[in-house]
Structure 1
Amino acid sequence: MTDIEPNVPAWQGWCKKSESGKLDYVEEKVDATGAPGRSVLLGEDKSMNGHGKQKKGKKIMRLFSLAFHHFDDDMARRVLKDAVETGDGFCIFELQARNFLSFIMVSLLWPLAIVILAPIYFYNSPGRLVFTYLVPCVPFVWVFDGYISCLRTRTPAEVRTLMREAVGEDKLRDWIIRSGQETHTVPIGKLRWFMATKDDR
């Protein structure tokens, strides 16, 4: 696991709980536009922490979970270029899209979730409870942020275009690209995914 703001204590716990033993992390900050070399990411370097089992055939899969829409087009191209040139695959997961149903989901489900979850997470913070229920700043900010996320989320075709612009069509000939969606909250909540993997055949 890598991140530009690594959460090492949480990662240590996840590595200990990993049944496969293949989960590992890099303690230093990692920028997705310039990830460290394969030796670091595959655990062959001392920068890794030794939690993962050293096995031949390990591959690098990058995961952008509810994150890719935060990159502007220029940064997205640089991230994709680095992923294609130094990795074996990547996945993009988003819970929203640039469509009417996503705006409905953000408008209805997020405030409901806040109202239900606020007492659980903010029970020891009277200020947060005030700004959730009495002066509903927190729900407003969450919904506004959700709308912006909907507007910034790219379609699979747009991600493919960014990939072509980043590395050229020739470098993508050995890549298998798939995309789809799964329902997470009936009837309108959809998880959208985009997956690109290098074809080793």
Structure 2
Amino acid sequence: MNIRLHLFEFEDFPWFPHVVREGMLDFLRFMITKLGAYEAAVPLLQELLLKTQQRHITDLCSGAGGGIAGIQQALAQQMQEPVLITLTDLYPNISSYQYLQAKSNNTINFVASPVDATSVPESIKGVRTIFSSFHHLKPEQAQAVLQDAADKSAAIGIFEGASKSWLELLALWLAFPAVIFLVTPFIHPFKLSRLFFTYLIPIIPFGIVWDGTVSLLRIYTPKMLESMAAKVSAPHYRWRMGKAGSRIGKHVIYIIGYPDHQLKTN
């Protein structure tokens, strides 16, 4: 699927009810975690942390923090030392962040105030990451995210949990509605609002399928990311992009960038 259509997602609208947005994001966090969707991203992130001599990740556009706990655990296990992750978002999902912080014994924390990925405050440090959210940004906004990282000499890793295929789109339409109804009672933290807007007024299932469809159509291909990186004004910044993962449900499209001066020297 080499096309990109920037149709609307309900999740992007400021007027969209926050309680419904949280319900949709909670489902995505649950599924990403259970499927280990970002397994292929772990070696890439480990390499980035080692190259830049950092052990702190600042996750941008965190949503509900989908898959971040598994990524943190895998990195800490592979590197044999603690890795700290700070969650941020323009619309912080505080209840999910508190849940992840408690479950991770504070190795995952969060910024409670809104953080704009196109203009990250200087006070926020660490290797930047974005999981499953870069497609929400229009080309000029996506370009601004890369430029802001380069301007502030921040390493960045952006990952989309998909290979952008028609098969994924078909699975979303045929399988996801049933999956949503089956797994919703098992999603933590428990929320009555999630049950209400799934079973009584099914706005959450409709929103997930619609936004999921649009997300696949919006995802930037590696060639699009390459073109975007070429426009970043940063002569001493290195970029790498492509696809990783070889198993169904575990593909990622990624772009990684870091300044030359952060390279580890032996």
Whole-angstrom distance in 2 between the partners of 1:188 and 1:11: 25
Pairing 1:1-201 to 2, within 5 Å after superposition: 1=86, 2-8=88-94, 10-11=96-97, 14=100, 25-37=110-122, 40-42=123-125, 60-120=126-186, 124=192, 125-126=195-196, 128-132=198-202, 138-165=204-231, 167-168=232-233, 171-183=234-246, 187=248, 190-199=251-260, 200-201=262-263
Aligned-partner residue type, residue 130 of structure 1:
L
| Preserved contact between residue 239 and residue 255 of structure 2 (Cα < 8 Å) | no
> Larger Rg: 1 or 2?
1
Quick check: 60-69 or 110-119, which moved more? 110-119
**Percent pairwise identity:** 25
| Preserved contact between residue 241 and residue 256 of structure 2 (Cα < 8 Å) | yes
How much has 1:130 moved relative to structure 2?
3.5
Unaligned 5+ residue runs, structure 2?
1-85
Unaligned 5+ residue runs, structure 1?
43-59
4+ residue segments displaced more than 6 Å: none
Whole-angstrom distance in 2 between the partners of 1:83 and 1:34: 9
- The two structures have a TM-score, normalised by structure 2, of 0.53
Aligned-partner residue type, residue 187 of structure 1:
I
How much has 1:34 moved relative to structure 2?
1.2
Aligned-partner residue type, residue 114 of structure 2:
K
Aligned-partner residue type, residue 116 of structure 2:
D
Distance 1:156 1:9, change over 3 A: same
How much has 1:25 moved relative to structure 2?
4.1
| Preserved contact between residue 98 and residue 151 of structure 1 (Cα < 8 Å) | yes
Distance 1:16 1:87, change over 3 A: farther
Aligned-partner residue type, residue 4 of structure 1:
L
Distance 1:74 1:17, change over 3 A: same
Aligned-partner residue type, residue 237 of structure 2:
D
- The two structures have a TM-score, normalised by structure 1, of 0.68
Residue in structure 1 matched with residue 61 of structure 2 by the alignment? none
How much has 1:63 moved relative to structure 2?
1.2
Aligned-partner residue type, residue 41 of structure 1:
I
Distance 1:174 1:94, change over 3 A: closer
Instruction: Number of aligned residue pairs: give it.
Output: 172
Instruction: Pick 1 or 2: higher relative contact order, CA cutoff 8 A, min separation 6.
Output: 2
